[in-house]
Amino acid sequence: MSEADNRTDKLLALILLHNIKGANQKDKALQLNLAGFSNLEIADLLQTNPAMVSTLLYQARKGKKKKL
């Protein structure tokens, strides 16, 4: 990945996080995941670890299935 692509991805993530400012970690992780970011990238952006991101995404998906 080039430096320009990396900067573009980080900018996209910051814009997305800004738009969901009041959301909890689980919702932020889900939105970033849907935007195509990896668990490692999401963890870096949310200042947590990839295992926590995996857990948050699992909980978000599990919760959506219950609502259906």
pLDDT in tens, the chain (68 residues): 688 788 888 888 888 888 888 899 999 999 999 988 999 999 999 999 999 999 999 999 998 766 54
Distance (Å, whole) CA 8 – CA 2 = 10
Containing structural domain, residue 13:
3-67
pTM: predicted TM-score of the whole model, two decimal places:
0.76
Instruction: Give pLDDT, residue 67.
Output: 58
Task: Please state, as a whole number, how many other Cβ atoms lie within 10 Å of the Cβ of residue 62.
Answer: 9
Long-range Cβ contact pairs of 36-41 (< 8 A, separation 24 or more): 37/9, 37/13, 41/9, 41/13
Task: Please state, as a whole number, how many other Cβ atoms lie within 10 Å of the Cβ of residue 4.
Answer: 8
Instruction: Give pLDDT, residue 63.
Output: 83
Number of folded domains that form the chain: 1
Q: Which candidate, 4, 10, 7, places its Cα nearest to that of 37?
A: 10
